[in-house]
Amino acid sequence: MFFHYLLLFLALPYCSSADTITPNQPIRDGDVLVSPAASFALGFFSPGNSTLRYVGLWFNNVSEKTVVWVLNRDLPINDTSGVLSVSSTGNLVLYHRHTPIWSTNVSILSVNATVAQLLDTGNLVLFERESRRVLWQGFDYPTDTMLPNMKLGVDRRTGLNRFLSSWKSPEDPGTGDYSFKIDVNGSPQFFLCKGTDRLWRTGPWNGLRWSGVPEMINTFIFHINFLNTPDEASVIYTLHNSSFFSRLMVDGSGHVQRKTWHESGHQWMGFWSAPKDDCDNYGRCGPYGSCNANSAPNFECTCLPGFQPKSPSDWYLRDGSAGCVRKAGAKLCGSGEGFVKVRSVKIPDTSEARVEMSMGMEACREECLRNCNCSGYTSANVSGGESGCVSWHGVLMDTRDYTEGGQDLFVRVDAAVLAENTERPKGILQKKWLLAILVIVGAVLLFFIVSLACRFIRKKRKDKARQRGLEISFISSSSLFQGSPAAKKHDESRRNSELQFFDLGTIAAATRNFSFANKLGQGGFGPVYKGQLPSGQEIAVKRLSSTSRQGTEEFKNEVSLIAKLQHRNLVRLLGCCIEGGEKMLIYEYLPNKSLDFCIFDETKRSLLDWKKRFEIILGIARGILYLHQDSRLRIIHRDLKASNVLLDAEMNAKISDFGMARIFGGDQIEGNTSRVVGTYGYMSPEYAMEGQFSIKSDVYSFGILLLEIITGRKNSTYYEDNSSQNLVGHVWKLWREDRALDVIDPSMEKTYPADEVLRCIQIGLLCVQECATDRPTMLTIIFMLGNNSTLPSPQQPAFVIKTTSSQGVSSVNEVTVSMVEAR
């Protein structure tokens, strides 16, 4: 950004009366400001048949007046009294009848030391006279048009998001329904939206072009430069020949267009437009579907290899929106699966994809193959060969075929589909080798069947050995058991198990015999110790105490569950120790401990600025989404709280403690229990009072976490002005009074973007609504966190009244609750 402004400073010519605005030299309705080389003009105008007045920018040398930027698009003036001037405070101000209705509103130290100037790029800039430092520029606030040298995208440091939005109508330049903005999640890409609905996407930048815009490449006319760094994700294009006039715009009909001016025809000619056909419509063929516009007049939707239509009847009626599902019986984990290359496509939506730019394609394939949740991969950069890795661990959405200009996508399939898609010899060669191929295929199939049978038998033996190991652990506490045949079987089961088993002696040595100096914390399950293995690896040891409420079943649950989970926002389980009456879990060591250790400490939370808190919020949300949707089985955590969110060296959030989690399969999203477990204050009302839990129970807990992160206060905190209110009730009260900013942690010292924090507060209140059906899903929450879409108004939260208890029975919201086992 510094170099961007530096180039801007150097481009500033010396001021002249024709292109500048000063306190003594304003422009009034009827005046026109012209850039130094007369490329652009700025002044008051009325669009179409409207009589309202706006300050607009247009091409000065184009015979068809084309307005490309509007200063007061949503603040029109109803007469010709408008004046644009630099005020006594140094800001650029628009006046209507001597009353300011718009201002740049920037902090300026030196009064009467600023000048506004229209540059030949079309950028209106406010800068200091002496230092020539830019204070404000119109290019940071585009309307419906992108000009050469203008950036679109997000400044990750400041949160500034430059995007296009359509006019309401040819007579009204106000902010319309359609927008074109970047989504920085996963591999960044631009989306055309109507409100919050996605209509079309560019796909990610692949080094040559946007994956979904094969015709939009660098040409002799213009050059495109895409930046994706820790500081920003943005695109800018420049013209090779300044005599050309070009613009990219979002029109009121819901299209993104690039146009160039042809002086010979005295008109704008369309160079490219999207969406241009049905296959450009976002999600036209649904999950795991692919769209081919060249198949017309036949139905353009097909399923990716290994998939079949989810609803054949809808498919027959040419409605592919339901998409495709994996073919029945497919085995995709350690069963001879592989990848089928789908050539020349617009790769699927990368909003939730993982990107590793340093990884080659072979390593990308191997990594995807190892992870059973990986559904496909492709190259991140196709310029000058293939490099970088983009992988999907969930749905493949919005894929389409191209005749040219696309890139190859590798889709995970089972062994049967892989064999079907293996290329075979053709013609005479095929006939000659047909018998040999049949023999080879038969031998391979026989070997495959035998291998599967052996693998199945080994797996059954391992399962029995692991179960026997857990049972023997209780017997082994007796001195009579030492050296017995059962102990030897136990040792053998540990060696054969897929999960790494540690000896008690190894863990005792690693933790200095569980010394107090190595103790990290204490939970309802028992203490946690820091340790170091002989290899030098640091570990965290969760030692189940003899009086722990996490019994053998919960321990088995946590071991079996976490071993299957692989996600950057979930804590990684290294192994366990079951010996001498001890049950211990060995995790990766996370140096910054748990979230509650940081966020509820007066000193430590001052080190967490809003950017880091927002990243923690996103990390928790992505981890929960993985549990709810993207893992092989649907998982409800049931005990989400600040102490169960751990922080690594970079303060990335990792969800831990799966002892209370429940596993669901298929489309099951809720359950019922007579034993309510969890932590009071984070439990949803339907779970605490009726034992009903669902993915919306975790959403409720996430909402509590979100509000705690914003405020730096525990939900159990009560307030002097109303001692019956906990944190949720306090936030709800101030939200209704339009004073929600009062709840923000004062240690952030107002260094946060108020709009973004208010948005997060509103999302938190949506999560803690009393009715579970009113709460959004985690997928919707992540979308709301990453987009500036309009949010619904939250309803009455649950548990906003302080709980009073007597004789073990708690009254919450006037409903009696019993049998609550809270930790």
C-alpha 804 chain-centroid distance: 40
List the beta bridge partners of residue 579: 582
In degrees, to the nearest 5, what angle opens at C-alpha 139 toward C-alphas 133 and 141? 110
Q: Residue 452 in 3-state DSSP?
A: helix
Two tokens, residue 731: 């936030």
- Asked whether the CA dihedral 351, 353, 359, 364 is positive or negative, the reply is negative
440 three-class SS? helix
- Phi, psi (degrees; rounded to nearest 5) at 686: -65, -25
φ, ψ at 461 (rounded to 5°): -65, -40
Backbone torsions φ then ψ of 118, nearest 5 degrees: -95, 120
The answer to whether the peptide bond before residue 297 is cis (omega within 30 degrees of 0) is yes
- For residues 120 and 428, what is the distance between their CA atoms, to the nearest angstrom? 67
Please give the torsion angle defined by the CA atoms of residues 185, 189, 190 and 192, in that order, rounded to the nearest 10 degrees: -80
Angle at 275 between CA 273 and CA 276, to 5 degrees: 70
CA pair distance 577, 527, nearest whole angstrom: 15
Q: Residue 195: name the closest of 178, 172, 174 by CA.
A: 178
Placement of tokens 């209780």 in the chain: 474
Whether the Cβ atoms of residue 648 and residue 592 lie closer than 8 Å to each other: yes
Pairing between strand 289-291 and 399-401? parallel
Name the CA radius of gyration of the chain, rounded: 31
Please tell me the distance from the alpha carbon of residue 745 to that of residue 723, in angstroms, as a whole number: 20
Structure tokens at 278: 């049905």
CA-based nearest residue to 741, from 729, 731, 728: 731
Spatial distance between the Cα atoms of 205 and 382, rounded to a whole number of angstroms: 10
What 3-state class would DSSP assign to 340?
strand
Which residues have a Cβ under 8 Å from the Cβ of 663 and sit 6 or more positions away? 561, 633, 634, 635
Tell me how far apart the alpha carbons of residues 224 and 155 are, in angstroms, rounded to a whole number: 18
- Compute the residue count for the chain: 823
Lookup: tokens for 721: 């002005």
Q: In what helix (H) or strand (E) does residue 781 lie, and over which residues does it extend?
A: helix 778-786
| CA–CA gap between residue 85 and residue 110 (Å, rounded) | 17
Closest CA to 587 of 652, 639, 530, 663: 530
Q: Would you give the DSSP letter of residue 742?
A: G
Residue 1 to residue 14: CA distance in whole angstroms = 23
Q: Is residue 378 within 8 Å of 408, Cβ to Cβ? A: yes
Among candidate residues 120, 630, 639, 657, the one labeled active-site is 639
Tell me if residue 639 is catalytic: yes
Which residues carry out catalysis?
639
